[in-house]
Chain A
Amino acid sequence: MEWLVAGAVGLLVGAGVHLLLKPQVFTMVLGLLLLSYGVNLLVFATGGLVVQEPPLAPLRAGAADALPQALVLTAIVIGLAVTAFALALALWAAARTGSTDVRAGERDEPAGDDRR
């Protein structure tokens, strides 16, 4: 079972990185999603795999590690917020450049910048 979970982590991270290296913005967001699944599982894995011993009352010594669970819980929610922000950036950039390619530059220089 451990190897199965490890394989899932590797697959998720690998696919996530692959998609994040592509220039299409929606593809990058999908990569971000997969990468965060993989990393969340990795952090969760530091607590070890424990079956049917949730860290709930009555708390016994053999229960699953609650610390990685707490870390991952907030990471899941923050991942959602980051995805939302990335998508908003994508929409904003698409409105300015008319393209979903992250390499597309802005068409006109921002005005009011008085650098030399």
Chain B
Amino acid sequence: MAPLLLLLPVLPLLGAVLAPVAARRHSHGPALVAGLATGSALALALLLAPGAADGQALGISVPWIPSLGLTLSLRLDGLSLTFALLVLGIGLLVSLYARWYLPADAPRGRFHALMLAFQAAMLGLVLAGDLLWLVLCWELTGLLSFLLIAFEPTQRSARRGAGIALLVTAAGGLALLAGVLLLGQVVGSTDIATLLAAGERIRAHPLHGVILGLILAGVFTKSAQFPVHAWLPAAMAAPTPVSAYLHSATLVKAGVFLLARLWPVFSAGELWLPLVGGVGLLTFVLGAYVALFKHDLKGLLAYSTISHLGLIVFLLGLGTPLAAAAGLFHALNHAVFKASLFMAAGIIDHATGTRDMRRLRGLFACLPITGSLALVAAGAMAGVPLLNGFLSKEMFFAEALDPPLAAAWPVGLKALLHLLLPAAALLGGVFSVAYSLRFGHDVFFNGPAPAQRCPPHEPSWWMRLPIAALVAVCVLVGVFPQQTVGPLLATASAGMLGRVPELHLSPWQGVTPALFMSAAALALGALVYALRKPLFRWHDQRFPRLRAARLYARLGATLVSRAHRLVAQLGPATLPSSAAWLFATALVAGAAGWWTSTPAPLARAHWQAPLAVDVPSLAAALILAVGVGAMAWRPQRRLGAVLWAGAVGLVVSLSFAHFSAPDLALTQIAVEVITTLLLLAVVVLLPAARAGVDAGISRAAAAAAPGPLLRISIAAAAGLGTGTLAAVVLLRPDRGFTDWLLARAESAAHAGNAVNAILVDLRALDTLGEISVLAMAGLGVHLLLRPGRGSGVRTGADAEAAGTPLLLRMLSLLVLPAALLLCVHLLLRGHQAPGGGFVAGLVIATALVLEQLAWGVPAAPRPRPVTLIGAGLVLAWSVALLPLMLGEALLTRLDWEARLPLLGDVAVASTLLFDTAVLLVVAGTLLAVFRRLLERPGSLGRSVTAPEAAGGEG
């Protein structure tokens, strides 16, 4: 049974992948996929339910990153089962509702994909068997909530709401992560079963308060507790199905879930009641108060949600099992009636085009069925008897009347709290009744409906079905609590507390003080609603700007404007000034390393005798010095500088050859040839530099470049520093693991060429990254210089270049076959002798570029350079990943030996294929670059447009 657990979050994830595909087939495909995925996951959860009943837990754990002690572990006990059923049940109804809610032109595939992905993350969260895994899913839910709030990114309120929600909840998530990591340090594990057993040890630890504070920061932000509640009203910019699902029933319950999950660990601590209970009660009262004054239907519901979350948090914060079970009960009840109220608000919005209660009235005549359903749900929200909300709210009143205060507290404080807690509970309850009345009366009655162009009418009954189902649950639970929700609640409490508390689930609890409080709340609530007009006036006068979101926005705006001012003080960011900062920083860092290193870099203790200088080396150094000098002196003489650059490169490549690096010498020569070609091709295209400062440059920008003195000092310091560094490194060689590497090259890689063995075998992962960089550069050039965008450097220049010399044409005919042969030769011998994929790729690319220069650029080359790059990357990754399927490590060398007709015994190593992939990427990148350069108007090359010449490229 346990492996089936993994399937539970995977099913919605599968649906998320399929939903966009289904959108292409049929406009209602995504909703169907969502319904099927959620429905099958729900069926699976019900199938697994018996395993989680009676305080047992079903678990599975798969190693994830064993070296960090991370496991992907899932756990299905009563608590997680209850929340999973909640997530899936409401998810099913919401997907049905969304099917009719979203307009035909909305991107339904994206919507359902995001909703299903959220569902998967939420299931991962509630089923987590490891707290780190829970935190990961926690962050995922926050991210998906961000994407869903900003579902219509063109709306500014949606972007703003999404940003606030992400920032607040992600900050809380970071605190939670820190708390969980600390907890892991204290206990030695983040496994939930281990943690639940280590409660006393955690509470006795000196870090207990810090850990609790960090975790609560996460919980309170997620469950929108005061004072970090502002994101929830701002999140109401989301489409209504999102509000119904995420921001009333599931996402905001994640904090409550974590509180319940860790309840056995922390609830016995001293800080629990004041922190959790205090914040919860405060949120309950304030949320209920503010909700009454919201004119937007969804705004009212949002603050009501905040208030009810506060109620749940308060019940969990009391620290008694009975209160905690009551909290869970209310969490379920609230999800049911609030989701249905959001859906009703969506229908009202659809039918009338507004959610403003000052403009809505008398809708009962137009929407009798929706109205009746909404009234029942609002009754549940207010706590009217025979509805589910009444039961849990009465439990709440009972708990507030008899709070479990510690005996050690001062008598006066206890007496005060015994008075204050019931008073606060009653006050919150009164406002709950008042805003519920407002929702029902203002919208559906309150006089006749204003004359409108199109009279509002009932939507399709499919859209009302989810509301009806939820309202039916409200009534059934309210009338027959023991028979309906009893077993589920017993399972949930057993999973949370390890035992089942004595909950009296019955619609009639007898004449208790709590009953009087309920009655008083209903009566006083009605009174407050009746007096609403003077109350509204009073509120508007006293708190005209009581909006947390506004405070948040002002804080953000201040931060941004400060940052802008700071940047402005630094001056305009031009490339030369940024480069100067960069080099200066590097110099400072290098100097710091130099002065702090031990032994001192210039200590002569281990210096070896230098090699003797010979005449050819001296001559080469002279050429290099002259070349570098010429380039630095007159870089504006572009042609000369390019030629000198070639000479310098030649000297560098000769020095590689001299100092026992034949592979480097080969590569450098090949690169030198192609670099010179590249520079020449660009020199032709680039406009000449103008004397003085261009007219297009602002005066501030022109000033923001290092002057000659600064340039020379930075350059001199850099040259001196690196030169000295090179000298020290050369004079104090450290063979490190050179010899070990050489031995490995022969024994493990079967290579005669150690450099090639490192590239394609021993450190092939590096090479994989490097060819990816090459590919990116090639694709970057390919896209950047796309014809039509930015072409016209030399508009009007003659596209038909002068005919290329005959000698070049003839030469290229000879060079191409020879280069092809050389390329294959270099590739094949690379593992044993100088050569390999890099050089081979450079050679073939050079030959092909030469051919294009002589004969023109084919209009549609085959294969396209980009295809070559792609093929190379695919081949490289296949060679890298294939060993994984055979149970070996990534990039393990594989050998095949076979007897082929005619050829005899053939042995092929995967390293050769890898080197071929390198060749393809190198050649493809260079061909892509030159194709773009040579096809531009006014370039060195000529475009071949004649059909018979097209496809001339090999």
Provide the bound-state CA to CA distance between A94 and B938, in Å.
Answer: 15
Contact check, A77 vs B671: say whether CB atoms are below 8 A apart.
yes
Q: In the assembled complex, which residues on chain A have CB atoms less than 8 Å from the CB atom of B719?
A: 10-11, 13-15, 17
Instruction: Write the chain B residue with the least CB distance to A57.
Output: B752
Q: Which of B140-148, B302-310, B726-734, B887-895 is the contact stretch?
A: B726-734
Contact check, A84 vs B929: say whether CB atoms are below 8 A apart.
yes
Q: In the assembled complex, which residues on chain A have CB atoms less than 8 Å from the CB atom of B759?
A: 70, 73-74
Please tell me if B655 contacts chain A, counting CB pairs below 8 Å.
yes
Output the least CB separation between A38 and chain B (Å): 7
Contact check, A8 vs B664: say whether CB atoms are below 8 A apart.
no
Output the least CB separation between A54 and chain B (Å): 4
How many residues on chain B are close to A (CB under 8 Å)?
127
Q: In the assembled complex, which residues on chain B have CB atoms less than 8 Å from the CB atom of A81?
A: 773-774, 777-778, 925
Contact check, B777 vs A77: say whether CB atoms are below 8 A apart.
no
Q: In the assembled complex, which residues on chain A have CB atoms less than 8 Å from the CB atom of B487?
A: none
Q: Which of B165-173, B441-449, B780-788 is the contact stretch?
A: B780-788
Contact check, A56 vs B754: say whether CB atoms are below 8 A apart.
yes
Contact check, A85 vs B781: say whether CB atoms are below 8 A apart.
yes
Please tell me if B702 contacts chain A, counting CB pairs below 8 Å.
yes
Contact bitstring A34-46, B, C-beta under 8 A = 1, else 0: 1001111110111
For A10, A57, A89, A103, the residue with the greatest tally of chain B CB atoms inside 10 Å of its CB is A103
Of the candidates A1, A50, A74, A87, the one whose C-beta lies within 8 Å of that of B613 is A1
Of the candidates B576, B724, B774, the one whose C-beta lies within 8 Å of that of A21 is B576
Output the least CB separation between A114 and chain B (Å): 8
Contact check, A7 vs B793: say whether CB atoms are below 8 A apart.
no
Provide the bound-state CA to CA distance between A27 and B570, in Å.
Answer: 26
Given A13-B723, A73-B755, A83-B675: A18 touches B715 (CB 8 Å cut-off): yes
Contact check, B705 vs A55: say whether CB atoms are below 8 A apart.
no
Please tell me if B697 contacts chain A, counting CB pairs below 8 Å.
yes
Q: In the assembled complex, which residues on chain A have CB atoms less than 8 Å from the CB atom of B792?
A: 95
Provide the bound-state CA to CA distance between A116 and B610, in Å.
Answer: 64
Output the least CB separation between A55 and chain B (Å): 4
Contact check, B753 vs A56: say whether CB atoms are below 8 A apart.
yes
Instruction: Write the chain B residue with the least CB distance to A39.
Output: B722
Given A9-B726, A56-B834, A78-B770: A70 touches B628 (CB 8 Å cut-off): no
Contact check, A104 vs B621: say whether CB atoms are below 8 A apart.
no
Contact bitstring B751-790, A, C-beta under 8 A = 1, else 0: 1111101110001001100100110011011001100001
Provide the bound-state CA to CA distance between A54 and B683, in Å.
Answer: 38
Provide the bound-state CA to CA distance between A103 and B833, in Å.
Answer: 48
Output the least CB separation between B538 and chain A (Å): 35
Output the least CB separation between B673 and chain A (Å): 11
Contact check, B635 vs A55: say whether CB atoms are below 8 A apart.
no
Contact check, A27 vs B636: say whether CB atoms are below 8 A apart.
yes
Q: In the assembled complex, which residues on chain B have CB atoms less than 8 Å from the CB atom of A63?
A: 660, 742, 754
Contact check, A26 vs B683: say whether CB atoms are below 8 A apart.
yes
Contact bitstring A69-97, B, C-beta under 8 A = 1, else 0: 11011101111111111011111101111
Contact check, A51 vs B576: say whether CB atoms are below 8 A apart.
no
Provide the bound-state CA to CA distance between A72 and B614, in Å.
Answer: 25
Instruction: Write the chain A residue with the least CB distance to B695.
Output: A99
Instruction: Write the chain B residue with the least CB distance to A7.
Output: B723
List residues 688-723 of chain B with CB under 8 A from any CB of chain A: 688-690, 693-694, 696-698, 701-702, 704-706, 710-712, 714-716, 718-720, 722-723
Of the candidates B704, B726, B746, the one whose C-beta lies within 8 Å of that of A6 is B726
Output the least CB separation between B909 and chain A (Å): 16
Provide the bound-state CA to CA distance between A29 and B659, in Å.
Answer: 28
Q: In the assembled complex, which residues on chain B have CB atoms less than 8 Å from the CB atom of A47?
A: 733, 738
Contact check, B675 vs A99: say whether CB atoms are below 8 A apart.
no
Provide the bound-state CA to CA distance between A94 and B791, in Å.
Answer: 10
Q: In the assembled complex, which residues on chain B have CB atoms less than 8 Å from the CB atom of A44?
A: 656, 659, 661, 664
Provide the bound-state CA to CA distance between A38 and B652, in Å.
Answer: 9
For A28, A70, A78, A94, the residue with the greatest tally of chain B CB atoms inside 10 Å of its CB is A70
Contact check, B660 vs A77: say whether CB atoms are below 8 A apart.
no
Instruction: Write the chain B residue with the least CB distance to A80.
Output: B671
Instruction: Write the chain A residue with the least CB distance to B683.
Output: A26
Q: In the assembled complex, which residues on chain A have CB atoms less than 8 Å from the CB atom of B611?
A: 1-2, 49, 51
Output the least CB separation between B611 and chain A (Å): 4
Contact check, A55 vs B726: say whether CB atoms are below 8 A apart.
no
Contact check, B690 vs A67: say whether CB atoms are below 8 A apart.
no
Please tell me if A59 contacts chain B, counting CB pairs below 8 Å.
yes
Q: In the assembled complex, which residues on chain B have CB atoms less than 8 Å from the CB atom of A11?
A: 624-625, 628, 719, 723
Contact check, B660 vs A34: say whether CB atoms are below 8 A apart.
no
Q: Which of B70-78, B239-247, B641-649, B897-905 is the contact stretch?
A: B641-649
Provide the bound-state CA to CA distance between A2 and B580, in Å.
Answer: 30
Contact check, B576 vs A22: say whether CB atoms are below 8 A apart.
yes
Please tell me if B667 contacts chain A, counting CB pairs below 8 Å.
yes
Instruction: Write the chain A residue with the least CB distance to B575.
Output: A102
Contact bitstring B613-629, A, C-beta under 8 A = 1, else 0: 11001100100110011
Please tell me if A111 contacts chain B, counting CB pairs below 8 Å.
no
Provide the bound-state CA to CA distance between A29 and B632, in Å.
Answer: 12
Given A13-B723, A21-B576: A77 touches B774 (CB 8 Å cut-off): yes
Q: In the assembled complex, which residues on chain B have CB atoms less than 8 Å from the CB atom of A48?
A: 730, 733, 735
Of the candidates B610, B696, B737, B778, the one whose C-beta lies within 8 Å of that of A99 is B696
Given A23-B574, A24-B689, A105-B697: A15 touches B785 (CB 8 Å cut-off): no
List residues 514-561 of chain B with CB under 8 A from any CB of chain A: none
Provide the bound-state CA to CA distance between A87 and B739, in Å.
Answer: 41
For B632, B702, B832, the residue with the greatest tally of chain A CB atoms inside 10 Å of its CB is B632
- Knowing that A1-B614, A73-B759 are A-B contacts, what are 9 other residue pairs whose CB atoms are under 8 Å apart, sorted by A's residue number? A18-B711, A30-B641, A46-B729, A77-B667, A85-B780, A91-B785, A101-B694, A103-B575, A104-B694
Residues of B within 8 A of A (CB): 574-576, 579-580, 583, 610-614, 617-618, 621, 624-625, 628-629, 631-632, 635-636, 638, 641, 645, 648-649, 652, 655-656, 658-664, 667-668, 671, 674-675, 678-679, 682-683, 685-690, 693-694, 696-698, 701-702, 704-706, 710-712, 714-716, 718-720, 722-727, 729-731, 733, 735-739, 741-743, 745-746, 751-755, 757-759, 763, 766-767, 770, 773-774, 777-778, 780-781, 784-785, 790-793, 832-834, 838, 842, 922, 925-926, 929, 932-933, 936
List 10 A–B pairs whose Cβ atoms lie within 8 Å, in order of A's numbering: A18-B711, A34-B648, A44-B661, A64-B661, A72-B661, A80-B926, A89-B784, A90-B682, A91-B685, A101-B694
Residues of A within 8 A of B (CB): 1-15, 17-31, 33-34, 37-42, 44-57, 59-61, 63-67, 69-70, 72-74, 76-85, 87-92, 94-105, 107
Closest 5 CB pairs of A and B: A14-B719, A10-B723, A57-B752, A48-B733, A18-B715
